[in-house]
Amino acid sequence: MSDLTVLIAGGAGFIGSHLCDALVERGDGVVCVDNLITGGRRNVSHLDDRPGFRFVDCDVAALTEEALGAAGIDPSTLDVMVNLASPASPRDYRALPLETLHAGSVGTTALLELARATSARFVLGSTSEVYGDPHQHPQVETYWGNVNPIGERSVYDEAKRFGEAVTSAYHRRHELDCAIVRIFNTYGPRMKLDDGRVVTNFVGQALRGEPLTVYGDGSQTRSLCYVDDLVRGLMATIDADSYGPYNLGNPIELTILELAGLVLELTGSDSTAVKLPLPADDPHRRRPDITRAHADLGWEPKVGLREGLLATIESLRRDLDT
- Contact present, 301 and 227 (Cβ < 8 Å): no
Active site residue 226: no
Binding window for ligand UDP (CB under 6 A); candidates: 11-19, 45-53, 157-165, 196-204: 196-204
163 SS3 class: helix
Q: Does 215 bind ligand UDP (CB under 6 A)?
A: yes
* Residue 66 burial class via C-beta count within 10 angstroms: exposed 0-12, middle 13-18, buried 19 and up: exposed
* Residue 322 burial class via C-beta count within 10 angstroms: exposed 0-12, middle 13-18, buried 19 and up: exposed
Residue from 12, 33, 198, 316 touching ligand UDP (CB under 6 A): that is 198
- Contact present, 286 and 131 (Cβ < 8 Å): yes
**Quick one: which of 183, 181, 167 has its CA closest to 110?**
167
Residue from 185, 186, 247, 271 touching ligand UDP (CB under 6 A): that is 185
Nearer to ligand UDP, 4 or 254 (CB): 254
For ligand UDP, the binding residues in 84-103 under the rule CB under 6 A are: 89-90
For ligand UDP, the binding residues in 272-301 under the rule CB under 6 A are: 278-279, 282
Binding window for ligand UDP (CB under 6 A); candidates: 21-29, 43-51, 68-76, 209-217: 209-217
No. of H helices and E strands in the chain? 11, 13
277's enclosing H/E stretch is none
User: Of these residues, 93, 156, 170, 187, which one is catalytic?
Assistant: 156
What would the DSSP string read from start to end of 93-105? HHHSHHHHHHIII
Nearer to ligand UDP, 5 or 186 (CB): 186
Residue from 54, 182, 222, 232 touching ligand UDP (CB under 6 A): that is 222
Q: Does 182 bind ligand UDP (CB under 6 A)?
A: no
Closest distance to ligand UDP from the beta carbon of 210 (Å): 11
Nearer to ligand UDP, 92 or 228 (CB): 92
Binding window for ligand UDP (CB under 6 A); candidates: 23-31, 111-119, 208-216, 264-272: 208-216
Q: What is the size of the binding site for ligand UDP (CB under 6 A)?
A: 15
Contact code string over 232-271 relative to ligand UDP, x by CB under 6 A? ------------------------x---------------
Q: What gap in Å lies between CA 322 and CA 310, rounded to an integer?
A: 19
As a whole number of Å, the end-to-end CA separation of the chain is 36
Q: What gap in Å lies between CA 19 and CA 235, rounded to an integer?
A: 8
Q: What gap in Å lies between CA 131 and CA 123, rounded to an integer?
A: 19
- Binding residues for ligand UDP, rule: CB under 6 A, are 89-90, 185, 197-198, 201, 213-215, 220, 222, 256, 278-279, 282
Which residues are catalytic, by number? Answer: 156
